[in-house]
């Protein structure tokens, strides 16, 4: 059987090494990939979307987390020294192009969360409208269909939670603290019952948002 020989440029070899190292949880390589993506992001983000520097830094952070999770969930992976993407095919172009496409989606999300970015009265708002921004239109781009769809959506919704909800749920589920302990650490919450109600409201809100996105994705 004839075997297809794939020629790889040094850049592709390096990118395959970085993705493989990320998947293998090698700290040094994880940092190398972060620096590789950051350099490219800061040099090129102005050509991809319009954002102030602080907003861009937040977008970079969320983009890298999503990129990292995509490697962990093997949406992109390395096979025979080649970076593979959707449908087990080699990734088209550089991983940096892939990274910037996530960044662009994160930027659109940012516009949804920060009304000034979508406000038609502002310069930024006008630019977004000129681009045809509609929050419902890009859901397809954000989530791949597959068995991890709901997990993808939840991860995304969590990244947009209010700071208060994020604080409570992180202390409860990540730090595994009891509500009594959390109450002592958050003196602005007046009672145990109030904290419990808040925590349940946050969960309800998360659930509602995730379900809505899930349904929209299935309908699309």
Nearest CB to other proteins, comparing residues 23 and 169: 169
CB of 113 to other proteins, least distance (A): 16
Binding interface with other proteins (CB under 8 A): 27, 30-31, 34-35, 38, 61, 64-65, 68-69, 72, 150-151, 154-155, 158-159, 169-170, 172-174, 176, 200, 203-204, 206-207, 210
Name, in order, each residue with C-beta under 8 angstroms of 203's C-beta and a sequence gap of 6 or more: 169
CB of 210 to other proteins, least distance (A): 8
CB of 150 to other proteins, least distance (A): 6
CB of 100 to other proteins, least distance (A): 18
CA angle 146–162–144, rounded 5-degree value: 10
The closest alpha carbon to 61, from 103, 28, 111, belongs to 103
Contact 140, 214 (CB under 8 A): no
Nearest CB to other proteins, comparing residues 38 and 101: 38
* Distance between CA atoms of residues 155 and 62, nearest Å: 11
The closest alpha carbon to 132, from 121, 145, 144, 118, belongs to 118
CB of 89 to other proteins, least distance (A): 26
Contact 168, 182 (CB under 8 A): yes
Nearest CB to other proteins, comparing residues 128 and 199: 199
Nearest CB to other proteins, comparing residues 46 and 208: 208
Nearest CB to other proteins, comparing residues 80 and 180: 180
Q: By CB neighbour count within 10 A (0-12 exposed, 13-18 middle, 19+ buried), where does 64 fall?
A: buried
């Amino acid at each position: 059987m004839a075997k297809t020989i794939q020629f790889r440029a040094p850049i592709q070899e390096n990118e395959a090494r970085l993705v493989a190292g990320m998947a293998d949880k090698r700290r040094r390589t994880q940092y190398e990939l972060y620096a590789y993506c950051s350099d490219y992001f800061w040099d090129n983000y102005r050509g991809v979307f319009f954002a102030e520097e602080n907003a861009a830094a937040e977008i970079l952070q969320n983009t890298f987390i999503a990129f990292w999770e995509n490697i962990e969930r093997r949406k992109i992976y390395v096979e025979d020294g080649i970076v593979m993407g959707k449908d087990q095919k080699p990734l088209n172009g550089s991983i940096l192009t892939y990274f910037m496409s996530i960044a662009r989606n994160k930027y659109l999300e940012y516009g949804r969360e920060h009304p000034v970015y979508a406000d038609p009265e502002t310069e930024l708002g006008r630019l977004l409208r000129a681009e045809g921004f509609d929050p419902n239109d890009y859901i397809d781009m954000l989530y791949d269909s597959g068995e991890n769809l709901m997990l993808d959506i939840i991860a995304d919704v969590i990244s947009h939670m209010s700071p208060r909800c994020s604080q409570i749920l992180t202390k409860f589920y990540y730090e595994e603290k009891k509500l009594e302990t959390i109450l002592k650490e958050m003196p602005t919450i007046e009672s145990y019952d109030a904290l419990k109600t808040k925590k349940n409201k946050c969960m309800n809100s998360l659930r509602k948002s995730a379900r809505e996105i899930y349904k929209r994705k299935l309908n699309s």
